[in-house]
Amino acid sequence: MSDFFTMASLVFVVGSGIRLATPFLLAALGETIGQRSGVLNLGVEGVMLLGAFGAYYTILETKTPVLGVLVGIGVGLVMGVVYGLVTVSLRAEQGISGIGIFLFGLGMSDLLFQKQVGTPLPIRGFDDWHIPLLSEIPKVGEMFFQHSVLVYLAFVLVPVVAFLINRTTFGLNIRAVGENPAAADSLGVSVARVRYGTIILANLLAGLAGAVLAIELGIFQQNLTSGQGFIAVALVYFGAWRPTGVMAGALLFGLVSATVLQWKTLGIVSGAASSITAMAPAVLTIVALVIITRTVGQPSALTKPFDRGS
């Protein structure tokens, strides 16, 4: 245990915690936008898998990480349009539709992987970008300022998304549609258009999250995300539908995961015990959810399709 409480260990845990938090953060930020407009997307996991495969395969073929990222985003966009069609235009039940998207993504990404690649070959992503000056601060620099550009991007998106939701006209429409779609409709705001917008943004970020995961791991395999998309959905509740709250949740989750990882590496836990500790982040999330959802109200129109006639 004493090995754990060293400076080197702490630097590792914080550094990799931030790295591990990134896909959660991206997916959860997208999901936040969606849920604020009243759309629950349980398909995040599936879209992440498709985005991950898209990015992986593109980079494998072209050796160009930027293209991989763009393909991941593109896959998210397509899935967003599909989810919009199903839940907004056709008013299908959101929970079930999301599970459908998840299963589709799970199966399709594996099928494509088996057909196109077969054996997992590693890919090379972005080099870490050491931010000038900041990265040279001892310890702190190592923890915070020696990451891939994708990590910085995710954290920069936190204030961007907060600004979008709280200060822009589109954000006002999002909040109104998520709380009282009939009121927005009566003022000439198109509920469908707003929700299509948020769904596409949410899926786009989920696709990006998947791409980031594949690029950071440098690999793809069946069910690469192993539930991260679902955790991202939970983090939105955890963060009480606020980007900063979501970021806190993602960081907490990343740090706990990194800690568990470190314990395993140091042999503090092993075997069955390590499997049990691996559950720690999930358990923590559930506990936090129980506490938080009691105190904070979710968007009133969450999961409710809007139909003017009713």
Partner 1 sequence: MTTPTPLLRLDGITKRFPGVLANDSVDFDVQAGEIHALLGENGAGKSTLMKILYGLYNQDEGQVFLAGEPADITRPSDAIQAGLAMIHQHFMLVPTLSVAENVALGLADSGFLVDTSSVADRISELSTQYGLAVDPESNVWQLAVGERQRVEIIKALYRDCRLLILDEPTAVLTPQEVEELFVILRRMADDSRGLIFISHKLDEVLALADRITVLRDGRVVGETKPEATSKEELARMMVGRPVQLTPDKKPSQQGRVRLAIEGLQVEGDRGRRAVNNFSIDVRGGEIVGIAGVSGNGQRELAEALAGLRPVTGGRILLDDTEVTGSTPREVRGAGLAYVPEERMRDGVVGEFTVAENLVLVDHNAEPYCRRGVLRMRNIAERAVTLVERFNVKTPTIDTITRSLSGGNIQKLILARELSAEPTVLVASQPTRGVDIGAAEYIHRRLVEERDRGTAILVISEDLDEILTLADRVAVMFEGRLMAVRDRAAVRVEEIGLLMAGSGA
Tokens for 309, please give them.
């006639």
Near partner 1 by CB under 8 A: residue from 8, 134, 183, 273: 183
Near partner 1 by CB under 8 A: residue from 1, 7, 133, 187: 187
**Nearer Cβ to partner 1, position 147 or 175?**
175
| Count of beta carbons in the 10 Å neighbourhood of residue 292 | 15
Signed CA dihedral, 160, 149, 140, 256: sign only: positive
Near partner 1 by CB under 8 A: residue from 2, 119, 169, 310: 169
Q: Which residue has the tokens 């915070």?
A: 144
Stretch that binds partner 1, among 125-133, 174-182, 223-231, 273-281 (CB under 8 A): 174-182
Q: Across the chain, which distance is largest between two alpha carbons, in Å? A: 65
Q: Any idea of the CA torsion for 90, 173, 239, 257, to the nearest 10 degrees?
A: 60
Q: Does 193 bind partner 1 (CB under 8 A)?
A: no
Alpha-carbon span 280 to 286, nearest angstrom: 10
Stretch that binds partner 1, among 54-62, 170-178, 231-239, 279-287 (CB under 8 A): 170-178
Alpha-carbon span 192 to 277, nearest angstrom: 44
Provide the 3-class DSSP secondary structure of residue 205.
helix
Stretch that binds partner 1, among 123-131, 169-177, 216-224, 231-239 (CB under 8 A): 169-177
Residue among 215, 202, 147, 146 nearest 174 (CA):
202
Near partner 1 by CB under 8 A: residue from 118, 132, 138, 188: 188
Question: What is the smallest separation between the CB atom of 290 and partner 1, expressed in angstroms?
Answer: 16
Q: Does 89 bind partner 1 (CB under 8 A)?
A: no
Q: Does 182 bind partner 1 (CB under 8 A)?
A: yes
Site for partner 1 in 25-44 (CB under 8 A): none
Tokens for 160, please give them.
């961007």
Tokens for 163, please give them.
């600004």
Tokens for 43, please give them.
């398909």
**Nearer Cβ to partner 1, position 66 or 183?**
183
Contacts (Cβ under 8 Å, ≥6 apart) of 245 = 238, 239
Alpha-carbon span 234 to 257, nearest angstrom: 16
**Nearer Cβ to partner 1, position 114 or 190?**
190
Question: What is the smallest separation between the CB atom of 80 and partner 1, expressed in angstroms?
Answer: 22
Q: Does 292 bind partner 1 (CB under 8 A)?
A: no
Site for partner 1 in 149-168 (CB under 8 A): 167-168
Question: What is the smallest separation between the CB atom of 84 and partner 1, expressed in angstroms?
Answer: 19
Q: Does 216 bind partner 1 (CB under 8 A)?
A: no
Q: Where on the chain is the footprint of partner 1 (CB under 8 A)?
A: 167-173, 175-176, 179-180, 182-190, 300, 308-309
